[in-house]
Amino acid sequence: MGCCECFGFTFAKKPKKVVRPSRGLPNDTSQEFLLDEETGDEEDDSYDGDINEMENGGESDFQSPTKRSEEILRQRVQCGLICREVPVKETHSVLRSEDENGNKMVNEYVRERKIGAGSYGKVNLYRSTLDGKHYAIKVFHKSHLLKLRVGPSETAMTDVIREVLIMKVLGHPNIVNLIEVIDDPTTDHFYMVLEYVEGKWVCEDTGPVGSLGEDTARKYLRDIVSGLIYLHAHNIVHGDIKPDNLLVTSSGTVKIGDFSVSQVFEGDNDELRRSPGTPVFTAPECCLGVTYHGKAADTWAVGVTLYCMVLGSYPFLGETLQDTYDKIVNNPLMLPDNMNPLLKNLLEGLLCKDPTQRMTLDDVAQHEWVVGGDGLIVEYSCWCKRNNLEKIVTAESETYAQT
């Protein structure tokens, strides 16, 4: 990562103006947008957009890794670097019908109700007539995705394609699993069939309603960190870590979902330009319209999420969009005097405004408050690494046998 000057500001002085990559929004944008960009409850076939646009400018300004994401991901697939033992099912025909009770059906799935909204489409609860299980299905309209521009040469369809490709290679207990993709070239509908995770821990409506307590917050944070370390190790930046994208199973396991604004990079080059997800979870270096490092921005969002879990509020929230970004960049972090000193130290490290001094996820995993009485977070042995190791061991055994 570069020094502070690389991001266009110093931390001791207040900049004259905070510039945020344009979303075409006025400065008096309501707090509802600052907290949650999801859409309202409408009919299943209607469409809501939630666009995360790049800063205005030509493509030559910065060669973002997102412009090569599909190529990078396809290369990984060709090399067998897939963390899934069971591949995602691909279906190229769709039958939209109704069951005997008049419920809408998509192939073998029966619609029960709407359960949310993703960045570009609805999320509905369906039940499979084959195995009786529930699934969360994202419903998109391809014609709308192709019309929505999110960059000089990218549409929302680019984001959805990248989300599918990313989820096709992922396999981790703390990440929502993609089961099937339904894409019939003769229809306008596109479906992502995901495992159904029962609920969210807070932020069901407009924001945190109360703290979870340190023990629960620690448990959830350990799951979040485990999943995010895995993503970063596979050169994926989530880009929108927040409570609404963290789902909790009936057994209390947190799973990271919604990869619609995620980015893929090669090597250590996680430098990005496109603005990340939700305003109140945005890192200071992302508020200035210049390049930033995706992993450090994800880590900041983890800090805001932890703050929400333990305090039931946001660390930096203004009356307007501009005011919020100004507070994120300039206001000091305020924590209660009676807070657990270890937790306070962790929050200060995560919410350090200087990305070069901010705690890394590895630091977080070893922090005394996170370790608690549960011990160090166990490193997940992913399928692609195990598969690769098996190939190396086999090759070495064959070489040894020949000598």
Antiparallel, parallel or unpaired: β 104-106 and 109-117:
antiparallel
CB 212 within 8 A of CB 278: no
Q: Using CA atoms, how far apart are residues 148 and 4, in angstroms rounded to an integer?
A: 34
CB 167 within 8 A of CB 113: no
HSE on the CB side for 182, CA within 13 Å? Answer: 21
CATH 1.10.510.10 at 37-371, yes or no: yes
Whole-structure pTM value: 0.79
Contacts of 15 (CB under 8 A, 6+ apart): 8, 9, 288, 329, 330
Q: Convert 233-256 into a string of H (helix), E (strand) and C (coil).
A: HCCEECCCCCHHHEEECCCCCEEE
**Residues with catalytic function:** 240
CB 138 within 8 A of CB 109: no
Domain definitions of the chain by residue range: 37-371
Contacts of 273 (CB under 8 A, 6+ apart): 21, 54, 55, 61, 62, 64, 290, 291, 292
- List pLDDT tens digits, range 103-123: 999 999 999 999 887 668 889
- Report pLDDT for 75: 79
Tally of CB atoms within 10 A around 251: 6
Q: Which residue has the tokens 């900041």?
A: 300
Averages of pLDDT over runs of 10 residues in the chain (403 residues) are 32 41 42 49 36 34 52 76 86 95 96 85 94 96 91 85 91 95 95 89 49 90 96 93 91 92 86 81 89 94 95 92 94 95 97 96 96 86 60 52 57
- Report pLDDT for 68: 72
Spatial CA neighbour of 237 closest among 364, 65, 384, 370:
65
Q: Which residues are annotated as a binding site for ATP?
A: 138
Tally of CB atoms within 10 A around 33: 17
Contacts of 232 (CB under 8 A, 6+ apart): 270, 295, 298, 361
- Report pLDDT for 28: 46
